[in-house]
A and B are shown apart, each in its own frame.
Chain A
Amino acid sequence: MRVERIINDTNDEFPIGIRVLAVDDDPTCLLLLESLLRRCKYNVTTTNQAITALKLLRQNKFDLVISDVHMPDMDGFKLLELVGLEMDLPVIMLSANGDTNVVMKGITHGACDYLLKPVRIEELNNIWQHVVRRKRFERKDRYNSDSQDKLRANSGEAVGMGSIGNNGKLKKKRKDQDEDEERDENGHHNNEDPSIRKKPRVAWSAELHGKFVAAVNQLGMKNATPKKILELMKVEKLTTQNVGSHLQAFIRTFSAYSYDDPKVITKLTKFRLYLKRISCAANQQVNIAAAVRMRSPNGLGNFHTLAGSNQLHNAAFRSFPPRGVLGRLNTHAALLIRGLPSPGTIRSGHGQNSVNSGNDQCKLQSFVSGIHNANILHGLPMSLELDQVQTNKGVSHIGELPIADSTTVFPVSSSLIEATVTGFSGNPLLGVTSNSLMLEASSQQAGNSRDIDPAIGFRNGNTLSDFAPLAPASNRKSNADLQREPIPINWNAGELITSAPQEWNSPYQSNVTPCSMNSSIPVSGTMVQFGLCLDQNNSTDSDSIGPLSFIDNSAMEQSIIDKEGYLMLEPWGQGSHIPYNIGLLEDLWEFQ
């Protein structure tokens, strides 16, 4: 497989020689860590200050960062976020404190692993996996998103991409560009090993984003096309594709915010990177089958029957064509997963969890899922979209088509997602559906990575009963499992779904978290919300709520932009997105 071949070409003795940066203020542990890492034959650099670490990271190329949590000059979580934001490297947290909430915090802030002191050499022997994982997903994501970008650029930012007929064109173009992918068309220079990264990511640093925002401000939303933005930004080695994808994320996140607000900018960047991460991961798996299965004859509204059908489990395991389209879709999926404990849900007054717990869970979910979860999400939106195709009439959005070759999916999906998101408060079923999908995804995924039989077992035709009661259930569980365990989260999601249909009798106990239920709800909203409250320990309700409503739009907008080339810019002028979403939701329900 190409990815593996490339990675192998990089370093025949991989993982020997991966460049690790170790940060710890305790000199004892630092020295010990350094020796252990050297013993594992890694290339080690150490520092006892976070600020120095950042400097080193900016100057040199590293593959992995191991950082202590408690440091005097900068909080380990802050460093973690910054690294993820700027360099997008895998970061492993290290601490003597193994409390679940601290571990959770680490995972939600994006750590790909959390080790406890005393750190053992066996654990360090395995950390290279994070490097491979990240590279692999990023390659795929870049491949996909580059294809997407090319497609979009090729269509010349035209608005008329909405028709289904274009879908075939898109596909064809994507295929044509498969060969192009290897060429460094982005114009980026690969100063690193060319075999590692064909196309280096554009790290949207605060400065770069500031330029971007200034350009967008200057042009105005209607005129903010990637090409023009790029011209205004005057940044070398930036392509319209990069700007375009960034613009999408931007629109998605900031439709309700003023984009001059630096706080918002930070959020956006974080959000953007999470999107990237998610889409990378989501490219792997696809439970489109689940999505397909979700489609019920009655359309969206009829979740009961939908859930009940055995199609659910069938769908779950159909392989998903890992195409570029998914890249975008993944964000939806990611949102879904991230939004496990949808704060929106909570807020909607279904009385399921406290907002705080929801937020925490949200944070937890979003990060925990990591690569694994992304897959789940990936599948989810697709199903939603497929459903939509049949029933949706009023949706003008063109959701991401998880299945490139399914032209029918085009029009509706995004509306479904939206409806799901906004309608969550009112439509537990929608949420449940997502959960089911998630379940499928998670179970599939879980099945792949570990033998999670219960999750798989669940698949056999459960009706989605009323979702709401599910939420309060099983709160405590698997907190411990959450430690460094992205999979369990999925589990929970899966379990929730399972329990939902089965009158809440989860066949398998562990790892059931109410979070999963929440996740189903706001597909995109959650994500944004999550992103917003991500690094803010004091995220307020308003924070969460704010993005929620327009997240949906952004999610949809993104896909629309993909297809239609900024068609979605229109809604910006319209003002409120919330009624827009609600309207769609109503439309959906009409189809019952």
Chain B
Amino acid sequence: MAEAVFHAPKRKRRVYETYESPLPIPFGQDHGPLKEFKIFRAEMINNNVIVRNAEDIEQLYGKGYFGKGILSRSRPSFTISDPKLVAKWKDMKTNMPIITSKRYQHSVEWAAELMRRQGQDESTVRRILKDYTKPLEHPPVKRNEEAQVHDKLNSGMVSNMEGTAGGERPSVRGLHHEDGSQHIGLLHPGDRGPDHEYVLVEEAECAMSEREAAPNEELVQRNRLICRRNPYRIFEYLQLSLEEAFFLVYALGCLSIYYEKEPLTIVKLWKAFTVVQPTFRTTYMAYHYFRSKGWVPKVGLKYGTDLLLYRKGPPFYHASYSVIIELVDDHFEGSLRRPLSWKSLAALSRVSVNVSKELMLCYLIKPSTMTDKEMESPECMKRIKVQEVILSRWVSSRERSDQDDL
């Protein structure tokens, strides 16, 4: 037939994650549907949709691969831990990040600077920090039966701290930073916040302290890990693209977006996002379409197109399709979002083939009877039709024996 054949996606050879759920909504809860349905919370900061709650971040990314960690490549996995130190001390089996002493000093300095800017005088700053950063002998262990207390090292015991299950937002009392991307982590003592509060600092041993020969101390220079509190913590947030955010709000009803503590309605979001990104409606409709087919669309910037379609999610399969979105009217004509010439199409086609993806053109056909007023509401999508077309190159010469049928 003249239709394109569907090629099953290629699975990645090494998969490091387990698949939880296709969407961040509860499937098949036993008791009342309203009970467990959680609505996640996001904020509009500088025209970006940011999710700050750690638990929400985990749910949203883990189920459906929505968003991107602002300090990471994709999954929010930022840590201040120094990978070399982690490898060096891997016998410690601890969840706390391990940093160098120099790095720790930086953190202390930054915290001090911040407090000075807040108006605190120097002596107060020093006093607070000294108190805050003293080494901890037994850092609090939270309901963890498996805590192991290593006594291979002298002072500066480390214990296995369970990954915090706390879900509250990092509370910052009185030390609020304007920039939404970083948050001061100087908490009142005793405040149990999310991870990174306690760090292991590798410090050189003082000459005065007793030196016990630790038999399994393999290093020449005597270093030890001291547990301290981190005064300047950096939190990673999840940034959702406008399409992802709108999908979570409109299609699934599981996200609320706040602006200055006011939740926004769907119609308001539809309009506001279009102001921020003029082609939002077009790209959203295509995004919604592919999500409703169970595929995971991610941004296609890397390959010069609008969307990349993954089956299940990026960790499992390589992207199968690279999509260009166009909006046309009833007569199948329309001004294109990008001026396509054969040259650029040929280039995109070659690039896609080189990365084993298929180039797809997604046409959104809008009926000519649709008024602008109708387009002001996302309900206009019910009247939009979608036409997918696969563009592929055909080689005429005989060397295409390995190419399957047309």
Chains A and B come from one and the same complex: no
